[in-house]
Chains A and B, each alone.
Chain A
C-alpha cells in the first residue's frame, strides 16, 4: 500500500504550481475588491476560513481564540452555503468532529487556546497518522505572558511532536492569507495544518483585505480503513509514511512566502519567529539598523535559508515568541552554537519568559535607548474582580460561612469567572489547575481522608470535563460535595452558550448516579442567604457524593439580552 507515498507528492507538485499562479491572480483580485475591513487577528482567521470554503468550525471558547468562532457564528448567515458553527463541549470533541468532517471531504476549521490543545492532543497527534481528506486547519492561540491563562506553553512543540506543517503569521493580513493557504496546503499534503498565533495578534485590530470566495467542497467521504483504522499494522505503515513526508514538508517551507529574508549587510543577523518579527522590524526601523532579518512563519524550518543567514553573519539573535524551541536546536546540546555566536532567550540576551516587545529586542541588539518616566510610587494594583451584583458573590458568601464552621476548609475550584473568588474579599477557593480538576482533585483529597471535600465548578466547565470526574467519585463512593455554579453561560470568555444548564444539568447528575435527595438547587441571591447556608451545610456534612446547583444567570448576559432581545436566540 504505497499509494500514500505518491498521492501527496503528486498533490504537492500541483500545489507548488498553484502557489506560483496565485501570485499573479492576487493583483487582479486587489483591483476587484479594495474593501479593507478592520478586524482582530482572530477575526482575520475566521474571514480567511469562510472565504476558503469551510463547511464547519468546531471550538470550545478560550482566550485568546474565542473571537475566531464568534466571528463565524455572526457572519456565516451572510454566506450562500450554510455551515455549522455551534460551540462544542470541549476541545477534544471539537477536534474529533472536525476530523470527521474532513473525512467527508469538506474543509473544516477547529479552534482552541493553547491549553485546549492538551485536551485535544490525543486526537491531534493521531490525526497526523491517519492524515486528512478535506482540508483541516487547527488554529491554536497561545498566550505568552499568561494574560488569561495558567501557563505559556508553546504550541509549536505540539506541531513538531505531531510532525505536521505549522504556519505562524505575523500580521492580520498575513493571518487571512495564511489561513487560506493552510487549507490548500492541508489538502496538498493530506495532513492537518496547525495555524499558531499569540495573544497580541489575536487581539489586535488592523485593516484586512478579503479575496475571492471559494465554494465549499462537495461531499466525498473517504473509504480508507487502511489509513483510519489505527491498529498497529496500519499505524506502523502510516507513521512511516509521515516520516517519509518530512523532507517534502521542508521543501514546501523553503517555498513559502511566510519565510522570507529582509536583506541587510550587518554581521549580526536576526532569526525572527512569528510576531517576534514585528518587534525586530520595529527596532530595525526606529534605530536605522542594517540587519539581515530572516522571518520565520512556516515550519518545519527552511534549512537552506537558515544556513544562508548563518553563513553571512557572525552573531545571530534568535527571537522566538514563545519557548526557545529552535534556539535550543540551533545551539545544540553541547551549546557549540553552530560555530557562531548565538544570542536569545537561553543566554539571557532576551528574557526567558513572557512575550517579547520592541524594548526587550532593542536591549538584546545593544541599542541604548533614552530614559523613560517611572510609574509614580503612589500607584496601586487594580486586580480584576467579580462584577457587582454577580451571583458568584452570593454563592461565595454562603460557602465561606459554611466552611468557617469546619476545621478543614479547603475548596477545590476550576476555570471561569468564579476563579476570581480566589481573590479578596472572598478568598473562597484554594485550587485552580485545569478544566475539570476541581471535582477530581476533591475526589482524590476525599480518598486521602480530607473531610469535607468541596468542589466549585461552572456549568460550562462541568460539561467540558467535570462529568467524567463526577462519575469516578460516584463509582468510588468518595464523599464530596460538588457545587455547580450555573450562570447559564460561558461567562469569562464573553458569554458563549454552554453545553448544558438548568434541568439538563440535573438530568446529567442523576444519570451519572447522584441520589435524588442529594441533588439540591439553590438561588445565589442575598435574599436567599440563610436558606443557601442551610442547604450547603447539610450537603457538605453528608458523608456521600452530593451536588448543589447554584442557578442564577450571569448579569452581563442578562443585561445584553435586555439591550438586544435578538441575542436571546
Chain B
C-alpha cells in the first residue's frame, strides 16, 4: 500500500492541520510517513503545498514524483490546478470550491471548474456551506478531510481518533464539532459517488 497526497492551499488556510491529522492516523495505523511542508517566506499569503506520503514499506523521497499523486486535496480551487503535473492518471482531485483571491488576474471560477472537470472524477465541495451546517464555518478543513478520507488509504475510525486527540485540549464541544464536520464531508463524498 502506498498513497501519495498533495495538500494545497494558501498560506494561513490551515492545510498543516489536515496534514497533522492524517500523519497521526497513519502513524497509529503502523504505517510509514513522510510529510514535507513549507515554512518561511511563502507562508505569508502565498501558494503553499505539502507532500504527504504514506506506505506500508520504506519511503525514500520526501517529495512526490510527477505523475504519481493519488490525491490532490485542496482547500482552494485554483490551487488544486497548480499541482496537476503531479497527479497520476487515475489520481483524484478533492477541492473546496471557495476562491481565495489575493492577487491580480484570478481566473473566472467557471474556467477553473471546467479545468477541474478535465481530471478523473473530481470531487468539488462547497466546504464553507457544509461546515456551517456542521456547526461552525471554522471546521471547513475537517469537511475537506472527510470528503477525501476514503482516498487516503486509512480507515476513517483512525482519522476520527486522531481528530479527537489533536483537538482534545480545546474541549469536548470542539472535538464533537470537528468530528461532525468530518462525517459531513464523508457523507458528501459517498453521496456524490452514488449519484455518479
Give me the interface of A with B, judged by CB distance under 8 Å: 36, 38, 63-64, 66-67, 147-148, 200-201, 203-207, 275, 277-279, 281-282, 285-286, 357-359, 362, 369-376, 378-387, 417, 419-420, 492-494
Contacts and interface: CB of A to CB of B under 8 A. Distances in A.
B85 A369 contact: no
B41 interface: yes
A64 B38 CA distance: 9
Contacts of A381: 47, 103
A376 B24 contact: no
B105 A376 contact: no
Contacts of A494: 39
B75 interface: no
Interface string B26-39: 01000011111111
A108 B35 CA distance: 29
B41 A492 contact: yes
A383 B61 contact: no
Nearest to B84: A373
B35 A205 contact: yes
Contacts of B78: 379-380, 382
B45 A205 contact: no
B11 A384 contact: yes
In the complex, which of the residues A374, A381, A382, A420 has the most CB atoms of chain B within 10 Å of its own CB atom?
A: A382
B115 A200 contact: no
Nearest to A148: B40
Contacts of A207: 27, 32-33
A375 B67 CA distance: 12
B15 interface: no
Given A382-B103, A494-B39, A372 B44 contact: no
Contact of A200 (B40, B63, B102, B103): B63
A369 B66 contact: yes
A357 B40 contact: no
A378 B42 contact: no
B60 to A, nearest CB: 4
Contact of A384 (B45, B51, B59): B45
B84 A358 contact: no
A415 to B, nearest CB: 10
B52 to A, nearest CB: 9
Contact of A382 (B10, B23, B40, B66): B10
A201 B60 CA distance: 11
Interface stretch (B106-114, B130-138, B173-181, B183-191): B106-114
A382 B42 CA distance: 9
Contacts of A38: 23-24, 27, 33
B121 to A, nearest CB: 15
B85 A375 contact: yes
In the complex, which of the residues B62, B66, B89 has the most CB atoms of chain A within 10 Å of its own CB atom?
A: B62
Contacts of A64: 39-40
B36 A203 contact: yes
A64 B45 CA distance: 19
B46 A385 contact: yes
Given A200-B62, A206-B34, A374-B84, 10 more contacts: A204-B36, A207-B32, A278-B62, A358-B63, A358-B65, A381-B47, A384-B11, A384-B41, A384-B46, A492-B44
B38 A147 contact: yes
A408 to B, nearest CB: 29
A372 to B, nearest CB: 4
Contacts of B151: none
Interface in B100-149: 102-107, 111-112, 115, 119
A492 B68 CA distance: 33
Contacts of A200: 36, 62-63
B85 A374 contact: yes
Contacts of B5: none
Nearest to B79: A382
A200 B36 CA distance: 6
B82 interface: yes
Contacts of B71: none
